[in-house]
Structure formats: structure tokens, C-alpha cells
Amino acid sequence: MTDTVVIFSVFFAAFTVDATVYFKEQFLDGDAWSSRWLESQHKSDYGKWKLTAGNFYGDAEKDKGLQTSQDARFYALSARFEPFSNAGKPLVIQFTVKHEQKIDCGGGYVKVFPADLDQAQMHGDSEYYIMFGPDICGYSTKKVHVIFNYKGKNHLIKKDVKCKDDELTHLYTLVLLPDQTYEVRIDGEKVESGSLEEDWDILPRKKIKDPDATKPKDWDEREKVDDPEDKKPEDWVKPENIPDPDAKKPDDWEEDMDGEWEPPMIPNPEYKGEWKPKQIPNPDYKGVWLHPEIPNPAYTADASVYTFHSIGVLGLDLWQVKSGTIFDNFLITDDVKEAEQFGEETWGATKEPEKKMKEVEEEKKRKEEEEKNKEQDTQAGDEEEEEEGEEEEEDGGATADDEEQDEEDEEGEDIPKKDEL
């Protein structure tokens, strides 16, 4: 009976623990955001931020976020919250990004810093715990960064995680679990997952190639070999090029002056190429030799690779060539369901209206462009007609003068010439 009560109590506790939200920012109180976020003073020319929902949105107020506003600038902004450790529990980092400027090169990621960060001096080399989010530059770089810091060194994910590169708002979520596994989600859908130990070179490899092992000299890795029974046909040897049988020595060819005449060469129609014996399975084939591995003496298991003991600052530390990116709906929590619900209440509620508004705006611009082109075509046609009219008037004036001269000539014909009198 006692065991039953204990089991029930544990089960009940596991499902009644409330989610902890360490940080949430939706920018719903106007310019008050500037009291919670601090711009770095490390450089004097950092780009400025503005609060806006952009040119198209799902909700004019709920979709307001921080937008980069100056081209070709570094940006450095951060917000502080109560420090915490993610030891023994999930860590979820989530936010939305909209590159409505058709971004050509720039970051859309966030950095999670330790609580001892000097926000006023935050810059690109400031040590961080986690870097997560999209990064785009040209056609070659369109990826999601997932970088973890371990013992002072940053480690990049070894997988290529593609990001969204359109102009709509997208939801990015990173889930880090105590069993040292992770998930990357975009718009609520899992796009990558795995373990920290396998997908990052954080720890040395568990096994290494045995330095004392070498491939045996008689190890045959040839899957196929030449057939020793296959012989080249006797009529196979024919030259690749032969003298043109239809060529004739020019009549003016003088051997004393031009040397001995030789007909030009042409491809031999009977040439079969280089003869090679046919291939047969190698009876001595042993397969590809695999280098034996041994336990790596430099490897030491560490169950706390995923743990960050004093998380306390979220920062936007990035570079953009063309500004216009909007960041919104930041969330740091220890509960995946909480992040999913928050994502549905924010991005999920406004994504379709935003897409619809964008389509309407694009259709409006398309029609305006068509009207503009029509006006330009009409104006060009009118100008062409005017030019043609002017040319006709010039031609008409010359004709009138010619007719007047003809009349004078006709009158002159009635007057007798001097020698006729």
C-alpha cells in the first residue's frame, strides 16, 4: 500500500510542476522596451533599432518587434533577467524573425550569455553560452547556427541546418534536454535532432584508429580484375587516324619546293579504341579494409555538457548589410509545451493574416506597376505621333512650295523667248 502511494505521489508531482518562464518579450508596451533592453557602448556606430510591425503583418500591435534600421551596421543589444541554471531540466529558446527587406547578407540569431556579462560593453568577442538562429549571406550561406560554448571554446554543429530565406515571419525553437539531446524546430516542425556528443566536436572521440594497426600487404581491395582468359582479337590493332584516301596532290605541288606530299589524316572508321580485357569478380577480394579502432585515452565522459550554470542575458549581436529584420516573441523556458503554446498564441495566430496582407500588398504593387507601364507606353505613343505629325507638316510645306514654283514655270511658258520674236 505504501509503495502504491509513493508511486502515485511521484506521478502526480511530475504532472503538476508548473513551467518556469525565465524570459519573455513581446514588445506590447510601446517604447517601454528601451528600459528593459540596453544598447552596447563598445562602439559608437552600432546600428539603431526601432519598434515596428513592418510593412505587412498579421496584427498591427501584436506583431510589433525590434527592427534593424540602418544598412551596413553592427548591432549590439541585450536584455537581462534573473540568472538560472538549466541543470537537470530542459532548456527552450524561442523567438520569431522576419527578413522583410529581402536580406542579402546578415544575421538573424540570438546569443544567450552568462549573468556576469557587462551589457554596456557587449561585442562580437564577448563570451556566450549559446548562439542560435538563422544566418544568410548570398546563395551559399543559408543556415541555422547552433553553437555551444564548452569550457571557454565555441563549438559549431557539424550538420547543415537550412533556414528560411523568404520575407515572412518564422518561428525558431531550440530544445536542449538533460539527456544531452537536442531539437531544432522551424515554424513548430522538427528540422534536426540528435545528441550533443555526436553532432558537435565538444568532447574527444570515444574511439580512435589503432596507431599500431596497418593494412596487411596481401589485402586485396579490388572488387573486379581483368579476365586472364580474355584475349585481344588479332584484327583489333588498327590506327586511330589514317590518310584520307580521297585526297589528291595539288597540281601546283612542287616537291623540290614543297617537299614530299602526304595526304591529310582522317579518323579511321574501323578504329575500335584501346582494347581492354573484360572484368570479372576478383576471387581474392577481401572488401574494403577498415582501420581497427581502440578506446581514445583522451576521452572522458561528461554528463554536464548541456549544462549552463548562470544564464542571465539574451543578446542580439549581429551584422547586417541590408537592414529591416524584425525580432519578436522571445521566450526562454524549461517547458517544451509552454513554448509550443506560446508559439501558437503569437506566430501561429498571425502568420496567415500576415501572409494574406503581403499577397494583397504585392498585388496592389503589381497593378500599380502595370498602370505605370501603360501610362509610359501611352505617353511614348503620343510623343511618337506628334513627331510623325511634325514630319508630315514639314513635308507638306515643301510640297506647297514646289507647286507654286510649278505654277510660275507654267506661266513662263506662255511668254515668247527673245529669239522667237
CA distances from 234 to 242, 268, 275, 278, 279 (A): 19, 17, 11, 16, 20
pTM of the shown model: 0.74
Indicate the pLDDT class of residue 237, thresholds 50, 70 and 90.
Answer: confident
Asked if pLDDT for residue 59 goes beyond 80, the answer is yes
Of 84, 106, 87, 88, the closest CA to residue 97 belongs to 106
pLDDT of residue 234: 84
| Long-range contacts from 265-273, C-beta under 8 angstroms, 24+ separation | 265/241, 266/241, 266/242, 267/240, 267/241, 268/238, 268/239, 268/240, 268/241, 268/242, 270/238, 271/238, 271/239, 271/240, 271/241, 272/236, 272/238
Binding-site positions for Ca(2+) read 26, 62, 64, 328
Cell 510542476 locates to 17
Of 94, 111, 91, 93, the closest CA to residue 178 belongs to 91
Instruction: Enumerate residues 6+ apart whose C-beta is below 8 A from 282.
Output: 220, 222, 223, 224, 225
Helix (H, G, I), strand (E, B) or coil at 374: helix
Q: Can you tell me the mean pLDDT for 216-235?
A: 92
Q: How many angstroms from the chain centroid is the CA of residue 376?
A: 37
pLDDT of residue 303: 94
Indicate the pLDDT class of residue 283, thresholds 50, 70 and 90.
Answer: very high
Binding-site positions read 26, 62, 64, 109, 111, 128, 135, 317, 328
Interior angle at CA 389, CA 385 and CA 395, nearest 5: 145
Of 158, 161, 160, the closest CA to residue 196 belongs to 158
Residue 207 and residue 294 in contact, taking contact as beta carbons nearer than 8 Å: yes
Cell numbers given for 348: 501561429
pLDDT tens digit string along 368-391? Answer: 888 888 888 777 777 777 777 776
Q: Can you tell me the mean pLDDT for 355-373?
A: 90
Q: How many angstroms from the chain centroid is the CA of residue 274?
A: 47
> Which residues sit opposite 75 in a β-bridge?
318
Distance CA(391)–CA(383), nearest Å, equals: 12
Higher pLDDT, 343 or 416: 343
Distance CA(235)–CA(306), nearest Å, equals: 72
Strongest mean pLDDT among 48-52, 256-260, 412-416: 48-52
- The torsion defined by the Cα of 18, 19, 25 and 27, in degrees rounded to 10, comes to -40
How much is the mean pLDDT over the chain? Answer: 89
Of 130, 157, 57, the closest CA to residue 315 belongs to 130
Instruction: Give percent above pLDDT 70 in the chain.
Output: 88
Domains and CATH numbers, the chain: 21-203+305-353 (2.60.120.200)
Give the single-character DSSP code of 303: T
Binding-site positions for an alpha-D-glucoside read 109, 111, 128, 135, 317
pLDDT of residue 404: 54
Residue 266 and residue 242 in contact, taking contact as beta carbons nearer than 8 Å: yes
pLDDT of residue 256: 84
pLDDT tens digit string along 94-132? Answer: 999 999 999 999 999 999 999 999 999 999 999 999 999
Cell numbers given for 365: 504593387
Q: What amino acid occupies position 212?
A: D
Distance CA(140)–CA(138), nearest Å, equals: 6
Residue 53 and residue 60 in contact, taking contact as beta carbons nearer than 8 Å: yes
Q: How many angstroms from the chain centroid is the CA of residue 61?
A: 30
Residue 286 and residue 65 in contact, taking contact as beta carbons nearer than 8 Å: no
Alpha helices, DSSP H, located in 183-303: 196-199, 255-258
Asked if pLDDT for residue 16 goes beyond 60, the answer is no
Buried-state track 89-102, b at ≥16 Cβ within 10 A, e below 16:
bbbbbbbbbbbbbe
Distance CA(51)–CA(291), nearest Å, equals: 58
Interior angle at CA 97, CA 93 and CA 101, nearest 5: 160
DSSP secondary structure string for all residues of 12-68? HHHTTPPP-EEEEE---SGGGGGGTEEE--SSTTPPPEEEE--SS-S-TTTT-EEEE
